[in-house]
């Protein structure tokens, strides 16, 4: 009797555990509702619909919303919902005015002949979310915040050339520069937010209430910030653009990983996923409710070749025993099969890397990417005096053509591409051996003895971000004055590219205020680097965004985040 | 007893000091620093980065950094986060309720089930019930907890639809998952009644946490009970004609609970630390994620705050466990 009794009891136990683990009112499934209802395709309405809530899921956690203190990329993308700049870059890579009424140029008199005085006409009737007027005084205040010492402001150095902002009237801002600053258009337009003058005392920047409840001029205002969970933004009914925004509410939902974010996108809980990567592609393509946008992203993954002999950080003259020869560097560039990397590892979502500047408004379309040409690579190595040894690896004067190849650990895409590139190199008789390090070690600072700072490497692989105005990028990566040394520990010309012509071109471009002439000079400098092959551009990635099909009005952009045109977004 | 407690509390001070030195040094070995996220941002000049490192005191030598931190701590100031620039205690205070809310419910639920099951399992040793409970407990212990969480999400949040979607209980029109795969409340349109919503969001993470704890507690309860049941005084109690119920609940259970009390006392500080896997899988904004994020960002004031509170709790609850023994078993004395 007891055995049957216990059998019944143990079944009961299982049931109890099952119930106990689900204390919610467990609903009894009914047949009709269990099947997902097929949604009939609605007839397209004529124009944008007003109202509705948009949910963006972010898998990075914004620590606060003050870009002047910020570290996380996601914060600057949330800024696009509530904050605005003087100007922004649209989907075609052109500067368009936002809080200004036009982009200053020499033609319209906004830029003085010497380029040291820039005059912005500011939009009238723009109100902050608290109801006060947006005026030139806000720009003055912002500059004062950035200038205040020891308050944690990031951009002090970038604003160093700006002497002051003068306000002849509330809707005119005159930027007076001490020295000509080539990237003037970036100030108050992507570098640094614009603060309302009542945000707080400049020296208390770190503890402003603004940091979690920012006051902006943008189409949405932040009403709630729940750490680690979500940020709620509501429609700004006093927005300066008539009939905008369309949406009533935006929720930025914070999750710990991109896997969770993908899940929410899939089951429709999220409308936009912040920052998709190529690895998400196979799953995204299967989601019938998701539309994909891609636009080529500026910058890209590259190999950085050390032109100088490793060992002594102070010696930036002695050429690298192998990579000091431009023919060897070019041979490596010809020997890499970029297309296979893009097709196999990026699911086809990428372009072969061509040069440093590859997106409008500074897109050097004349520079062609190195073709995959093993014959040419081999010929170059032969010319350089490297002859095939017994095991196929080339030898010269008793030295093997063997190079250390490093990237950051824990990045599957990089590790997989290393495997392909090592194979490519073997085919032309070059031996690459892998010695990866965590990014904090490999890409660390001078004091941390980072190999790239001290020049203790052969070949590095990583991505450097690009900036809309390329001056800083070109100057810091390729000007001989940016080569790191004990006297210049902040320098980031890691390949130690030292070329008087490049220096001249960059200096010249940095002294002109207008776009077409500057573009031409930067492209010439970028071409010199490509010929010298100290940076070998592997692939240019896409800015991938998955949107629920109900979201309308978004345009793919190389520069902006998912909310760059937040006011125009609407949901069906 | 009072003297014993005072002595133990005084002993805790040097222990905490040593812990703080070791933990602080270990954190500083890690190459992450609060500014490393900005290293590759071309909009920030290298000079500005150097200036900020100086401003934040990140390049100070270890003893200087430590004495700054200690100087603040002895004045009751836990410092500010390097990343959010808010006081450490605010950061912790914001996350702690979320963590306790989740982990206490799972903890209590696990105990309520584990104690009677472990007890019956021991009393009826080798019965079918015992075998079933033991098997399930082993399964619960050996399944990787993160895997179990993912399975819960796939089954209940991806594959199963909520049949009550569109009704008064769940106003959201279908498709709606059976249980949500993350978060604490519904953020989108047409949320359910707040109470329903909360419980609905708790189901999966609590199941994930409770199953694991339950499995452990059942084993301890059973083992403790089996030991006690073999004791002479139990046999005496049975021999003198006491009812089985009285023998088990009054005489055996109290002593058998000692190992479980130790485990529970040591688990309470862990409740404070949060459950990293559960919080990560179910997007729960709790302590586990705060700790992980802070470690990743090298935000050492927050890390030190969490670790020191946690060390204090462990020391304190060890003492509580020792005191609890004395109450459960009068033979244990501390004087």
DSSP secondary structure of B33-63: -TTGGGTT-TTS-HHHHHHHHHHHTTTS-HH
Pseudo-torsion of CA B51, B53, B56, B57, nearest 10°? -110
What's the confidence (pLDDT) of residue A517? 85
Query: Using a CB-CB distance cutoff of 8 angstroms, which residues of chain B are in contact with residue A232?
Result: 187
Q: Give the integer Cα–Cα distance in Å for A284 and B130.
A: 47
Q: Give the integer Cα–Cα distance in Å for A45 and A421.
A: 51
> Is residue A291 pLDDT above 50, yes or no?
yes
**Which pLDDT tens digit goes with each residue over B248-290?**
888 888 888 888 888 888 888 888 887 888 998 898 999 999 9
Q: Identify the three-state secondary structure at position A111.
A: strand
**Which pLDDT tens digit goes with each residue over A514-547?**
778 899 999 999 999 999 999 999 999 888 888 9
Please, which residues have CB within 8 angstroms of residue A267's CB and are 6 or more apart in sequence? B157, B158, B175, B177, B181
> Is residue A448 pLDDT above 50, yes or no?
yes
Helix or strand run (H / E) with residue A132 = none
pLDDT band at A571 (very low <50, low <70, confident <90, very high): very high
**Among the listed residues A253, A262, A292, A250, the one whose alpha carbon sits nearest the alpha carbon of residue A54:** A250
Cβ atoms of A168 and A59 within 8 Å: the answer is no
Helix axes B88-123, A2-20, angle to 10 degrees: 170
Residue-range domain boundaries for chain B: 95-328
Helix or strand run (H / E) with residue A388 = strand A387-388
* Phi, psi for A393 (deg, rounded to 5): -80, 140
pLDDT band at B33 (very low <50, low <70, confident <90, very high): confident
Q: What chain B residue is nearest to A269 in terms of C-alpha separation?
A: B188
What's the confidence (pLDDT) of residue B42? 63
A256 contacts B279? CB cut-off 8 A: yes
Burial state string for A280-308 with b = 16 or more CB within 10 A and e = fewer than 16: bbebbeebeebebbbbbbbbbbbbbbbbb
DSSP secondary structure of A206-223: GG-GGGTS---SSSEEEE
What's the confidence (pLDDT) of residue A71? 67
Q: Is the Cβ of B192 closer than 8 Å to some Cβ of chain A?
A: no
3-state secondary structure A332-349: HHHHCCHHHHHHHHCCCC
**Which pLDDT tens digit goes with each residue over A388-436?**
988 999 999 989 999 999 998 878 889 999 999 999 999 999 999 999 9
What's the confidence (pLDDT) of residue A25? 40
> Is residue A295 pLDDT above 80, yes or no?
yes
Mean pLDDT of A454-467: 89
Q: Give the integer Cα–Cα distance in Å for B36 and A220.
A: 31
Q: Is the Cβ of B64 closer than 8 Å to some Cβ of chain A?
A: no
Q: Is the Cβ of B51 closer than 8 Å to some Cβ of chain A?
A: yes
pLDDT band at A17 (very low <50, low <70, confident <90, very high): very low
What's the confidence (pLDDT) of residue A8? 45
**Among the listed residues A530, A514, A414, A513, the one whose alpha carbon sits nearest the alpha carbon of residue A474:** A530
What's the confidence (pLDDT) of residue A44? 53
Measured in angstroms, the CA of A520 and the nearest CA of chain B are apart by: 21
B153 contacts A27? CB cut-off 8 A: no
What's the confidence (pLDDT) of residue A220? 97
Measured in angstroms, the CA of A399 and the nearest CA of chain B are apart by: 35
Positive or negative: CA dihedral B319, B325, B330, B333: negative
Q: Identify the three-state secondary structure at position B276.
A: helix
Measured in angstroms, the CA of B328 and the nearest CA of chain A are apart by: 29
> Is residue A5 pLDDT above 70, yes or no?
no
Query: Using a CB-CB distance cutoff of 8 angstroms, which residues of chain A are in contact with residue B30?
Result: 440
Nearest to A72 among B30, B37, B283 (CB): B37
Cis peptide before A425 (omega within 30 of 0): no
First to last CA, chain A: 65
* Phi, psi for A293 (deg, rounded to 5): -120, 140
A24 contacts B200? CB cut-off 8 A: yes
Alpha carbon distances (Å) from B172 to A441, A540, A569: 49, 42, 23
A28 contacts B280? CB cut-off 8 A: no
Helix axes B300-328, B2-29, angle to 10 degrees: 150
What's the confidence (pLDDT) of residue A32? 39
On average, the pLDDT of chain A sits at 87
Q: Give the integer Cα–Cα distance in Å for A152 and A67.
A: 11
pLDDT band at A212 (very low <50, low <70, confident <90, very high): very high
Structure tokens at A329: 């560097």
Nearest to B285 among A228, A232, A490 (CB): A228
Q: Name the burial class of residue B92, with classes exposed (0-12), middle (13-18) and buried (19+) by CB atoms within 10 angstroms of its CB.
A: buried
**Which pLDDT tens digit goes with each residue over A78-109?**
999 999 999 999 988 889 999 999 999 988 99
**Among the listed residues B226, B228, B265, the one whose alpha carbon sits nearest the alpha carbon of residue B134:** B226
**Among the listed residues A298, A367, A305, A368, the one whose alpha carbon sits nearest the alpha carbon of residue A522:** A367
**Which pLDDT tens digit goes with each residue over B43-81?**
677 778 888 888 888 888 899 999 999 999 989 899 999
Q: Identify the three-state secondary structure at position B11.
A: helix
Mean pLDDT of A546-572: 89
For B95-328, which CATH superfamily applies? MetI-like (1.10.3720.10)
What's the confidence (pLDDT) of residue A12? 43
Q: Give the integer Cα–Cα distance in Å for B331 and B328.
A: 9
Residue pointed to by tokens 């205070």: B93
Residue to substitute from A2, A157, A268, interface B, most B β-carbons within 10 A: A157
Q: Name the burial class of residue B227, with classes exposed (0-12), middle (13-18) and buried (19+) by CB atoms within 10 angstroms of its CB.
A: middle
Complex ipTM value: 0.83
Mean pLDDT of A366-372: 91
pTM for the complete prediction? Answer: 0.82
**Which pLDDT tens digit goes with each residue over B158-206?**
888 888 888 888 888 877 889 988 888 888 777 888 899 999 999 999 9
Domains of chain A: 1-29+85-203 (3.90.76.10), 51-83+218-294+544-572 (3.40.190.10), 300-540 (3.10.105.10)
Positive or negative: CA dihedral B64, B299, B78, B265: negative
**Which pLDDT tens digit goes with each residue over B295-333?**
888 899 999 999 999 999 999 998 888 888 877 777 777
Q: What single-letter DSSP state applies at residue A491?
A: -
Query: Using a CB-CB distance cutoff of 8 angstroms, which residues of chain A are in contact with residue B163?
Result: 27-30, 33-34
Q: What chain A residue is nearest to B199 in terms of C-alpha separation?
A: A24
Mean pLDDT of A27-49: 50
Q: Which tops the pLDDT comparison, A430 or B4?
A: A430
Q: Name the burial class of residue A415, with classes exposed (0-12), middle (13-18) and buried (19+) by CB atoms within 10 angstroms of its CB.
A: middle
Nearest to A9 among B47, B129, B181 (CB): B129
- E strands of A14-123, at which residues? 53-58, 87-89, 95-97, 117-121
Residue to substitute from A76, A260, A362, interface B, most B β-carbons within 10 A: A260
Q: What single-letter DSSP state applies at residue B66?
A: H
Q: Identify the three-state secondary structure at position A234.
A: strand
Q: What percent of chain A shows pLDDT beyond 70?
A: 92
What's the confidence (pLDDT) of residue A226? 92
Q: Give the integer Cα–Cα distance in Å for A384 and A358.
A: 31
A186 contacts B43? CB cut-off 8 A: yes
Q: Name the burial class of residue A51, with classes exposed (0-12), middle (13-18) and buried (19+) by CB atoms within 10 angstroms of its CB.
A: exposed
Mean pLDDT of B211-240: 89
CA B120 to chain centre: 27
């Amino acid at each position: 009797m007891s055995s049957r009794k216990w059998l019944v009891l143990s079944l009961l136990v299982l049931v109890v555990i099952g119930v106990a683990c689900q204390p919610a009112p467990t609903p009894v499934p009914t047949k009709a509702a269990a099947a997902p209802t097929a949604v009939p395709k609605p007839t397209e309405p004529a124009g944008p619909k007003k109202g509705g809530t948009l949910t963006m899921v972010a898998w990075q956690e914004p620590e606060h919303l003050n870009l002047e203190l910020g570290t996380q990329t996601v914060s600057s993308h949330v800024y696009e919902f509530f904050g605005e700049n003087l100007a922004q870059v649209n989907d075609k890579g052109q500067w368009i005015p936002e809080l200004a009424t036009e982009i200053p140029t020499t033609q319209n008199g906004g830029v003085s002949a010497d380029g040291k005085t820039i005059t912005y006409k500011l939009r009238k009737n723009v109100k902050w979310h608290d109801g006060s007027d947006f005026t030139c005084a806000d720009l003055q205040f912002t500059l004062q915040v950035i200038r205040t010492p020891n308050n944690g402001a990031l951009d002090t150095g970038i604003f160093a050339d700006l002497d002051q902002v003068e306000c002849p009237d509330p809707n005119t801002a005159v930027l007076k520069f001490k020295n000509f600053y080539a990237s003037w258009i970036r100030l108050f337009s992507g570098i640094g937010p614009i603060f309302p003058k009542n945000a707080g005392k400049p020296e208390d920047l770190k503890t402003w209430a603004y940091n979690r409840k920012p006051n902006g001029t943008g189409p949405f205002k932040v009403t709630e910030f729940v750490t680690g969970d979500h940020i709620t933004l509501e429609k700004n009914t006093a927005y300066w653009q008539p009939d905008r925004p369309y949406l009533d509410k935006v929720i930025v939902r914070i999750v710990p990983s991109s896997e969770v974010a993908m899940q929410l996108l899939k089951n429709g809980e999220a409308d936009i996923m912040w920052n998709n990567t190529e690895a998400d592609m196979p799953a995204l393509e299967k989601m019938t409710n998701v539309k994909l946008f891609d636009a080529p992203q500026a910058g890209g993954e590259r190999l950085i070749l050390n032109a100088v002999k490793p060992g002594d950080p102070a010696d930036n003259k002695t050429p690298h025993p192998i990579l000091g020869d431009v023919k060897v560097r070019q041979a490596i560039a010809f020997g890499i099969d970029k297309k296979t990397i893009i097709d196999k590892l990026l699911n086809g979502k990428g372009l072969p890397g061509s040069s440093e500047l590859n997106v409008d408004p500074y897109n050097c379309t004349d520079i062609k990417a190195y073709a995959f040409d093993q014959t040419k690579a081999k010929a170059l190595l032969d010319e350089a005096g490297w002859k095939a040894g017994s095991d196929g690896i080339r030898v010269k004067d008793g030295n093997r053509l063997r190079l250390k190849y490093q990237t950051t650990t824990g990045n599957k895409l990089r590790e997989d591409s290393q495997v392909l590139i090592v194979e490519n190199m073997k085919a032309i008789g070059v031996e690459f051996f892998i010695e990866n390090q965590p990014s904090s070690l490999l890409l660390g600072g001078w004091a941390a003895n980072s190999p790239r700072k001290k020049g203790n490497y052969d070949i590095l692989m990583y991505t450097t971000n690009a900036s809309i105005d390329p001056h800083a990028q070109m100057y810091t990566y390729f000007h001989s004055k940016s080569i790191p040394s004990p006297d210049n520990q902040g320098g980031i010309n890691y390949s130690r590219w030292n070329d008087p012509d490049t220096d001249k071109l960059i200096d010249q471009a940095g002294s002109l205020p207008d776009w077409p002439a500057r573009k031409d000079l930067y492209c010439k400098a970028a071409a010199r680097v490509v010929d010298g092959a100290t940076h070998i551009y592997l692939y240019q990635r896409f800015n991938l965004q998955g949107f629920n099909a109900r979201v309308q009005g978004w345009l793919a952009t190389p520069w902006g985040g998912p909310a760059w045109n937040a006011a125009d977004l609407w949901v069906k | 007893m009072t003297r014993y407690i005072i002595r133990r509390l005084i002993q805790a001070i040097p222990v905490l000091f040593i812990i703080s030195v070791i933990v602080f040094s270990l954190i500083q070995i890690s190459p992450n620093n609060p500014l490393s996220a900005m290293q590759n941002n071309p909009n920030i000049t290298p000079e500005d980065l150097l200036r900020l490192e100086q401003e934040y005191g990140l390049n100070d030598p270890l003893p200087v950094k430590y004495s700054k931190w200690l100087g603040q701590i002895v004045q009751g100031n836990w410092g500010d986060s390097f990343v959010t620039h808010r006081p450490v205690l605010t950061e912790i205070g914001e996350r702690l309720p979320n963590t306790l809310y989740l982990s206490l419910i799972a903890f209590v639920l696990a105990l309520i089930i584990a104690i009677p099951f472990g007890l019956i399992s021991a009393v009826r040793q080798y019965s079918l019930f015992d075998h079933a409970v033991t098997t399930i407990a082993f399964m619960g212990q050996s399944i990787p907890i993160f895997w179990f969480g993912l399975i819960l999400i796939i089954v209940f949040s991806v594959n199963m639809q909520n049949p009550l979607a569109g009704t008064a209980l769940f106003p959201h029109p279908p498709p709606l998952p059976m249980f949500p795969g993350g978060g604490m409340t519904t953020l989108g349109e047409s949320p359910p009644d707040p109470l329903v919503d909360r419980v609905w969001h708790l189901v999966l993470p609590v199941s994930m946490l409770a199953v694991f704890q339950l499995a452990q507690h059942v084993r301890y309860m059973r083992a403790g009970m089996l030991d006690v049941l073999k004791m002479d005084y139990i046999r005496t109690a049975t021999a003198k004609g006491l009812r089985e119920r009285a023998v088990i609940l009054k005489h055996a259970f109290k002593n058998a609970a000692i190992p479980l009390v130790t485990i529970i006392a040591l688990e309470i500080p862990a409740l404070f630390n949060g459950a990293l896997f559960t919080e990560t899988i179910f997007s729960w904004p709790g302590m586990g994620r705060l700790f992980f994020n802070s470690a990743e960002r090298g935000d050492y004031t927050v890390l030190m705050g969490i670790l020191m509170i946690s060390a204090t709790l462990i020391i304190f609850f060890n003492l509580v466990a020792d005191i609890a023994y004395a109450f459960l078993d009068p033979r244990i004395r501390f004087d």
